[in-house]
Structure 1
């Protein structure tokens, strides 16, 4: 089955369902590793730019725009949700109209303009309210103009970041022919995203907190423009895909067509199903599979569905067999995909609340240096970067694992390890918060919001390290799983699925936090008078239940070649060598 609209090596599916790769054409041979420094370099600068303004946004809203602490955390989660959810729209536009290169380039420019507006709010006194001491009742709320400029900048920066974030992942992976190279690219892409995050979360955030918010934001503008320049500089080497319509639209057509023909009886003869020209050229026309049989009606031909040349006359009434099978492939992935949502939701709550915890703790390192509250999250990226490098470095031990266990380490195992580490991180978070609350109560700080608990913010590092190590396992693992298992013409949508997971999780986290605020007293304005530890215990329980759900989904999942999770889909494609 030849893919349309994909820049990857074209695939043909044999009678056994296995995918074989055709060789690249002359243009694609210019791609591969020669494009790597341009794409990874651009990704690094984009990561540094987005991190610089987004990581410290909670503190900026609280200190410069007089926003309530919990409300600032909620705004932060909504913005992160948009950054990760909107790439689905970017994938549709890339597939249908512009292609990945133009979507990433235009989005980068839009992000730069948004960060410019944010920089202006920090530069011009007229674009932010007067400072408010100790959150007293005399605080002046921002004017409509100040809110308009602030949120316009945030919206533009968010739209731009979402257009770049995972479009460039697909674009980069499509430069490589083998799954081994693609797997290596995914690891290094996440490393190139995490390492600059660590630098920006410390250096830029420190500049914003201790030198100048304006200088920090303008550095983000510079990083965004450099990223765009580096990405465009590699254009002569890239393999560009030709947009030929969004495959997501074809999936919607299958649903509509199967609904319209829901009362028709399914035949046993394959001649009554509609095959594309490529499918008809095969020696044997493969009938639709029996799973989700109700969808097979979408490919059932009736009078008026085709023209005289046998082309489709009504695209919303008749689909090809391959379009039906593509939708079935996506549906099979949905349970595993949903388990990732409930994995990422507790992490979204945990990271935003950790910043609020840090604001109440002693952040001094020596007499003259104080860690910015938003910078504590850098430990997630540092631990993730180190873990990713170690995973790539010790790939040579995978054949030894196969000899010891009888099977290679699978991508499902990698994701499962990420689940467990994330739950462990939540347990540690609950224990640390209990110690913090005990210190606050011991010093009678429950009703005093301006005093710092005499407990070092370094206590927050273990939980963040566990989250980072967990992300190094489950995020690239999910990316690799979706990229391998989705139909080849859904490559953009496959990588956007990971982005959608994180985006939905941020929105669910805001709903969860708001529900807890309304129904309990765990999350008051003053965390010293709350029970954030109970919130963490609740999230840890949800995480364990979700891990059990993931195990069930992974156990019963059958790959697109019919294999089980335990026998196929190794963590990398060279585990059986030597």
Structure 2
């Protein structure tokens, strides 16, 4: 028999050959999104005459949506479209939004005309300009959110047969993602501030096109998996099943509970735990629930005992999860108001260089990255030597809580000094005080993030049942989304009930806002300590084995 030709041989898909395409795509799309979001507040204020606090609110809504959309698109990808289709569709949506945003900086009729100097009235601004602007922001945010979680997922899927390589993939994937964020928030923002908004936004368009093209170029190498359903669906089925059968009496024997076909032998059949007993109704076998082949007739009426127990494990960790909302809220408020502070401060370094206000976020990124680099080699060994024990995820998150509200203390003190300098130099929009005064509060906030965010991911991956492991990242994304919305609500309440946040922050009391966050942070830390005290680890073995690498 004649050997098959090379063209007839089945092409091998998946593996590390896909890494350059997936990572290259992520870098391009990240450059595009971070390139315009980092400077959005400044663009709204300078080009569309949006009130400074309103611009902050819009930016917080964008950041919140940017964190929530990845969760929603992950559900769509898992349940219907698959990662590949979700990514290319989302990249096109992102491109349309970015192009539309670039046009607002290019076409004169799409942005308001500046008021003439000395004029007592300005030409009314056409509403269509703001419609186009917000449509561009919505499309670009929606598209970027659709690729953020699915790119990392499809990358991990390519190494499904090599679990050890998946950890290496995530390390390098997020390293390039982080690097792209740094470049976008510095280089692209600098172009927007010092060359033109048009040039900066079209760089974002080019990056989006390049990222999309790189992803599609690797299509022939990807291992593409059919949607298997989202873990959120199984959680929803437990709720529906327990409500549907709420009137059915709970049996006492394991035989009356559904153990899942071909999964649990009868000898190992178990009765659901007594905690949250109302959910046990979802696993009760009623007449007509089981077919002749032992499969379920209606998956929304009958769930397995394991699915019910998985849901209970999630409920047990929800109080700890909720303590992180306020952590993200302080981050959202600090980053937004820091940009307004930077706009009102001396941003010059030397006679010829001026730090873009939208780039102050870089100090958070740098401090987080540097501290994470030192964490395994310095922090963990030092903790071990001082306490004789390894640092657990709960302890790591707790330290992050403390550093978080301490960064707010520094923020309040620095702003108080800035306001005193402003009062001594009334009549000047730019306070003669270096923007580098903001570095300590931003750096401290970055170090806090290096503690609590990785600590949360570690805790969720450790404590979640194996069927819900993929939800760990989603839990963090939901925290960030809710936090930015809470930051928006907090700023709105402060603005409506006080005079602390006027259009010109030199006439306000931003330091009072920071002191409110300090008080809230201390109260929230007390809530966290209470939740952590009563929480019992589900996987004690994993906790015991958390340690720093040994040199022996």
Q: TM-score, normalised by structure 2?
A: 0.90
What does 1:175-190 align with in structure 2 at a 5 Å threshold?
A: 175=159, 185-190=169-174
Higher alpha-carbon deviation: 465-474 or 236-245: 236-245
1:417 and 2:399 matched: yes
Distance (Å, rounded) in 2 between the aligned partners of 1:399 and 1:458: 32
Q: Which residue, out of 49, 66, 84, partners 1:66?
A: 49
Distance (Å, rounded) in 1 between the aligned partners of 2:49 and 2:391: 50
**Is the CA contact (8 Å cut-off) linking 1:208 and 1:217 kept in structure 2?**
yes
Distance (Å, rounded) in 2 between the aligned partners of 1:224 and 1:453: 38
Distance (Å, rounded) in 2 between the aligned partners of 1:466 and 1:472: 10
Deviation at 1:316, TM superposition (A): 2.7
The answer for the alignment partner of 2:418 in structure 1 is 436
Distance (Å, rounded) in 1 between the aligned partners of 2:172 and 2:450: 11
**Is the CA contact (8 Å cut-off) linking 1:95 and 1:492 kept in structure 2?**
no
**Is the CA contact (8 Å cut-off) linking 1:557 and 1:564 kept in structure 2?**
no
1:151 and 2:141 matched: no
Deviation at 1:441, TM superposition (A): 1.0
Distance 1:529 1:399, change over 3 A: closer
**Is the CA contact (8 Å cut-off) linking 1:186 and 1:479 kept in structure 2?**
no
What does 1:536-547 align with in structure 2 at a 5 Å threshold?
A: 536-547=514-525
1:98 and 2:81 matched: yes
1:378-401 deviation per Cα after TM superposition (whole angstroms, max 9, x unaligned)? 111122222233336x28x85785
Choose between structure 1 and 2 for higher RCO, CA contacts under 8 A separated by at least 6 residues: 1
Deviation at 1:518, TM superposition (A): 1.3
**Is the CA contact (8 Å cut-off) linking 1:191 and 1:385 kept in structure 2?**
no
1:243 and 2:227 matched: yes
**Is the CA contact (8 Å cut-off) linking 2:13 and 2:220 kept in structure 1?**
no
Q: Which residue, out of 288, 294, 299, partners 2:283?
A: 299
1:215 and 2:209 matched: no
**Is the CA contact (8 Å cut-off) linking 2:240 and 2:301 kept in structure 1?**
yes
Deviation at 1:189, TM superposition (A): 4.1
1:178-214 deviation per Cα after TM superposition (whole angstroms, max 9, x unaligned)? 8776555555444333332222112111111121101
User: What is the number of equivalent residue pairs in this alignment?
Assistant: 542
Q: Which residue, out of 339, 364, 372, partners 1:388?
A: 372
RMSD of aligned Cα (Å): 2.8
Deviation at 1:499, TM superposition (A): 1.0
Distance (Å, rounded) in 1 between the aligned partners of 2:291 and 2:544: 42
The answer for the alignment partner of 1:570 in structure 2 is 546
Distance 1:388 1:224, change over 3 A: farther
**Is the CA contact (8 Å cut-off) linking 1:190 and 1:476 kept in structure 2?**
no
1:430-454 deviation per Cα after TM superposition (whole angstroms, max 9, x unaligned)? 1110010000111224xxxx62111
Deviation at 1:290, TM superposition (A): 2.7
Q: Which residue, out of 523, 530, 534, partners 1:552?
A: 530
Q: Which residue, out of 494, 511, 514, partners 2:472?
A: 494
Q: TM-score, normalised by structure 1?
A: 0.86
The answer for the alignment partner of 1:78 in structure 2 is 61
**Is the CA contact (8 Å cut-off) linking 1:194 and 1:384 kept in structure 2?**
no
Unaligned runs of 5+ in 1: 1-25
Higher alpha-carbon deviation: 52-61 or 189-198: 189-198
**Is the CA contact (8 Å cut-off) linking 2:13 and 2:222 kept in structure 1?**
no
**Is the CA contact (8 Å cut-off) linking 1:408 and 1:576 kept in structure 2?**
no
Distance 1:427 1:524, change over 3 A: same
**Is the CA contact (8 Å cut-off) linking 2:60 and 2:485 kept in structure 1?**
yes
- Secondary structure of the residue aligned to 2:481 is helix
Distance 1:444 1:418, change over 3 A: same
Distance (Å, rounded) in 1 between the aligned partners of 2:249 and 2:118: 69
Distance (Å, rounded) in 2 between the aligned partners of 1:68 and 1:286: 61
- Secondary structure of the residue aligned to 1:454 is strand
1:483 and 2:479 matched: no
Distance (Å, rounded) in 2 between the aligned partners of 1:421 and 1:136: 49
1:519 and 2:497 matched: yes
Q: Which residue, out of 58, 67, 71, partners 1:88?
A: 71
Higher alpha-carbon deviation: 283-292 or 109-118: 283-292
The answer for the alignment partner of 1:206 in structure 2 is 190
1:337-385 deviation per Cα after TM superposition (whole angstroms, max 9, x unaligned)? 2111111011101100000111111111222222211111211112222
Distance (Å, rounded) in 1 between the aligned partners of 2:541 and 2:491: 38
**Is the CA contact (8 Å cut-off) linking 1:194 and 1:382 kept in structure 2?**
no
What does 1:280-429 align with in structure 2 at a 5 Å threshold?
A: 280-281=264-265, 283-391=267-375, 394=377, 398=380, 402=384, 405-429=387-411
Q: Which residue, out of 264, 268, 288, partners 2:252?
A: 268
